[in-house]
């Protein structure tokens, strides 16, 4: 299974991050401003000297839109705007949540929105929150790589959804080649990790899938085990 990605039209060398959503890279022999859609810290990916791939923007405050980072022997997707589309592709392909279809993207619920609303042939409804994972350490994919109050709130809302008769899931999309399992990043964001564990105990399903990037697309590798055990 292969999810195609729009081919970048430029490569360059990352220089620095300017703010949450912008950075500087040397592209075509000069410094250019690039849009970084992923709000995570990405420190293990976006360091000075890292090779990046981007596509030119037609307008806006930045010239380029960051697509991926080349790290040793792997390409890592850092365009988080694609996460919902990737998750919908996995559902419609029957890879995850077989028997369900995507009924709506970004459905409203409670104080905010989730990423997907699924419906089954039997009439069941499932809310899905999608999280992209780019941090890997010693074979473990870790989420998040920066504190996320919004992520913790999503977990609380998913738990409430189960009490209102929905099925509810967190789906982690793992983009790191060496990842063999997934865990919440307790050291980085204990509040999110605790919220995820409480949601799971309330009936929220936690799934993770691994996707490897090549030029230019994503290959579905398989599901990964999720370990929610708090550290000692």
Please state the rounded mean pLDDT for residues 53-60: 90
Question: In the chain, which residues fall in CATH 3.40.1350.60?
Answer: 80-223
Q: What confidence score (pLDDT) does residue 7 get?
A: 95
Q: What is the pLDDT of residues 76-92, one digit of tens each?
A: 999 999 999 999 999 99
Mean pLDDT score of the chain: 95
CATH for the stretch 2-77: 2.40.50.580
pLDDT band at 232 (very low <50, low <70, confident <90, very high): confident
pLDDT of residue 119: 96
* Region 46-70 average pLDDT: 94
Q: Where does the chain hold its CATH 2.40.50.580 domain(s)?
A: 2-77
Q: Helix or strand or coil: residue 161?
A: helix
Strand order through the sheet with 181-184: 135-137, 140-143, 181-184
Give the model confidence (pLDDT) of 177-207 as tens digits: 999 999 999 999 999 999 999 999 999 999 9
Angstrom distance (rounded) from CA 19 to CA 62: 12
Task: Give residue 44's pLDDT.
Answer: 94
**Torsion, CA 21, CA 212, CA 194, CA 229, rounded to 10:** -150
Which has the closest alpha carbon to 179: 71, 80, 66, 94?
71
* CATH number for region 80-223: 3.40.1350.60
pLDDT at 111 over 80: no
Percent of the chain scored above 90 by pLDDT?
Answer: 89
């Amino acid at each position: 299974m292969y999810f195609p990605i729009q081919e970048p039209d430029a490569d360059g060398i990352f220089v620095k991050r300017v703010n949450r959503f912008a950075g500087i890279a040397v592209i075509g022999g000069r410094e250019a401003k690039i849009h970084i859609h992923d709000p995570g810290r990405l420190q293990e990916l976006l360091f000075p000297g890292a090779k990046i791939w981007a596509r030119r923007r037609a307008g806006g405050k930045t010239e380029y839109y960051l697509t991926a980072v080349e790290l040793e022997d792997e390409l890592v997707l850092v365009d988080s705007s694609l996460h919902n589309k990737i998750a919908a592709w996995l559902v419609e392909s029957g890879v995850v949540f077989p028997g369900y279809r995507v009924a709506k993207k970004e459905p409203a619920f409670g104080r905010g929105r989730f990423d997907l609303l699924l419906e089954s042939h039997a009439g069941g409804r499932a809310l899905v929150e999608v999280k992209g994972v780019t941090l890997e350490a010693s074979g473990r994919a870790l989420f998040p790589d920066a504190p996320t109050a919004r992520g913790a709130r999503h977990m609380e809302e998913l738990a409430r959804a189960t009490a209102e008769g929905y099925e509810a899931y967190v789906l982690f999309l793992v983009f790191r080649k060496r990842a063999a399992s997934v865990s919440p990043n307790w050291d980085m964001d204990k509040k999110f990790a605790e919220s995820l564990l409480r949601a799971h105990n309330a009936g929220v399903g936690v799934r993770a899938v691994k996707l490897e990037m090549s030029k230019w697309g994503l290959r579905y590798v398989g599901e990964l085990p999720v370990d929610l055990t708090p550290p000692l």
